[in-house]
């Protein structure tokens, strides 16, 4: 038996059509995810793939790392990271606030 109803759209389509703060939040989250992907593309080193851009507070870029080991080269490449992410976000962040936050749900690696 086949249904005549079309496949449901992802919930983000429905949420994007709604005005207000939720739409702004989704837009900001999408922009931060794009900045993370751009960082991974422009800095192909393995340590960079452990980083996630999670916020921009004023001129402070907030980055979470899956491991403390990735923060060591981040310190050495801080200017490059700020330039790449700043270009993607359309701003000029001046400092990084980095924290270790392992991704939940992954088995220990």
C-alpha distances in angstroms, 84 versus 39, 50, 80, 98? 6, 16, 6, 16
Looking at per-residue confidence, does 20 or 77 come out higher? Answer: 77
18-34: average pLDDT: 85
- The residue extents of the domains of the chain are 20-100
Tell me how many degrees the CA angle 39-41-43 measures, rounded to the nearest 5: 65
36, 59, 37, 52: which is closest to 102 by C-alpha?
A: 52
What pLDDT, on a 0 to 100 scale, did the predictor assign at position 20? 78
Assigned architecture for domain 20-100: 2-Layer Sandwich (3.30)
**What tens digit of pLDDT does each residue of 7-21 get?**
777 766 766 676 778
pLDDT at 53: 97
Please tell me which residue, 77 or 12, carries the higher pLDDT value: 77
Length of the chain (residues): 109
Q: How confident is the model at residue 24, as a pLDDT?
A: 84
Q: With a cut of 90, say whether residue 35 has pLDDT above it.
A: yes
Q: In whole angstroms, what is the distance from residue 5 CA to residue 9 CA?
A: 12
Strand order in the sheet with 51-57: 51-57, 60-65, 95-100
Q: Please compute the mean of the pLDDT values over residues 41-60 and round it to a whole number.
A: 96
The answer to whether residue 81 scores a pLDDT higher than 60 is yes
- pTM, rounded to two decimals: 0.78
The pLDDT assigned to 102 comes to: 87
């Amino acid at each position: 038996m086949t249904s005549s109803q079309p496949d449901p759209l992802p919930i983000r389509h429905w949420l994007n059509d709604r005005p207000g703060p939720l739409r702004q939040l989704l837009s900001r989250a999408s922009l931060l995810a794009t900045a993370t992907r751009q960082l991974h593309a422009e800095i192909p080193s393995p340590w960079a793939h452990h980083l996630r851009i999670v916020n921009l507070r004023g001129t402070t870029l907030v980055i979470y790392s899956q491991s403390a080991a990735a923060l060591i080269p981040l310190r050495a490449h801080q200017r490059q990271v700020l330039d790449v992410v700043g270009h993607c976000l359309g701003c000029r962040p001046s400092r990084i606030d980095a924290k270790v936050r392992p991704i939940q749900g992954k088995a220990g690696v």
